[in-house]
Amino acid sequence: MPSFVQLGVQARRALAAAAIAAAAVLASCAEPPPVITPPPAPPPVALSPKLIEQASAYRRYVQTASAISPAFVDGDAVAHGVRTGAAYEPQQLLRGAISYGAVVALQDPGFVAGVQTYAADPTQRRTIAYEIMKDPAYVIGIQGSSGAAGMVMGALGEDGRKLLAQGKAVRQAAYDVQRAAWSKKDVAGRDARLSLAKQLSATPVMGDTTETARLQQAVTQRGALGVSGQTAAPPYTPVVVRSMAVAALAVLGFADDASLEQVMPILADPNAATCLNMSKLNLYQCLAVSKPHYEDVFCLGVHSLMDTGRCVMKSAGVAEPVEAPTKLTEAAPAKATPVSTRR
């Protein structure tokens, strides 16, 4: 018969075994520790190469047209200038201006950071992108939009000023060049010259490869364009708003090739399109009635360059610089001045 000591040891062993068994049962029932999933990284900032190409084509026209020299030496030089000035399709130029404005808006770090606050959560990202696509003005409520708007206004406004200033220089040349006998001779093939201007105005152009690469780099590299601007308070023009809208979609991951069907309608503005179309119509009317070379110079300066520059500035919400009163010098008699339908 076991002693009381042996019974106590056996009891303690039994209790320990029972405790271990109970702990094993409880452990088998316990939930595993939660797995902490880090928040998804925001998508990379991306703009469709097709939009970059539109921006590059716009920049190509601004650069080539604003470089037209007013120092015309013969009719061939005038004809080349007329071709260069007419070489843009209004709708493409407008799409390019908005696309370029988007790249400019992406240069503002405060605006990009403001959009990125909505980019980490996939559901919120899609919701914000949908709201922008539905109404581009939604972008105005994003933190940093005033800085981006100022940059866009500054960049597009500067492009418009370049075209306007060069147009004024060419317009003055229409008077100055009348001292040369060749400028008073009638343009040969006037109908063909007008037809070519219309053809160039309906033909989309390609951007410069170097400029395309520079714009592509600027999409993800802040400061690559070297643009600047002061903070601007709303209201903004539709072109400025739509530029920022496309930029915001690029940050949210909805401005790539897969989203082009939704993005392309944003690259339009009826008022800006009407202004550019009227510039073209004025050019056609001017070329239709002009005869000597110096009148073609006038058409080029006023309607290809000045009118287009004014349209770009107006679309950016930038006022035209105040021009000091000047007297245009005329070397020819009154009957040889440019036609009265032009200003």
Q: How confident is the prediction along the chain (343 residues), in pLDDT tens digits per residue?
A: 555 445 454 655 655 555 555 555 555 555 566 666 666 677 899 999 999 999 999 999 999 999 999 999 999 999 999 999 999 999 999 999 999 999 999 999 999 999 999 998 999 999 999 999 999 999 999 999 999 999 999 999 999 999 999 999 999 999 999 999 999 999 999 999 999 999 999 999 999 999 999 999 999 888 888 888 899 999 999 999 999 999 999 999 999 999 999 999 999 999 999 999 999 999 999 999 999 999 999 999 999 999 999 999 999 999 988 776 655 544 333 333 444 334 4
Q: What is the DSSP letter of 106?
A: T
Confidence (pLDDT) at 22: 55
Closest among 98, 81, 131 to 287, alpha carbons compared: 81
CA nearest to 52, candidates 119, 99, 113: 99
pLDDT for the residue 182: 97
Distance CA 248, CA 324 (A): 40
pTM confidence score: 0.84
Domain boundaries, the chain: 49-336
Among candidate residues 250, 248, 261, the one with its CA nearest the CA of residue 139 = 248
For residue 303, which of 153, 154, 174, 203 has the smallest C-alpha distance? 174
Cα–Cα dist 237/99, whole Å: 15
CB atoms within 10 A of CB 63: 13
Burial readout 239-264 (b: 16 or more C-beta within 10 A, e: otherwise): bbbbbbbbbbbbbbbbbbeebeebbe
For the chain, how big is the Rg over CA atoms in Å?
33
- Name beta bridge partners: 186: 292
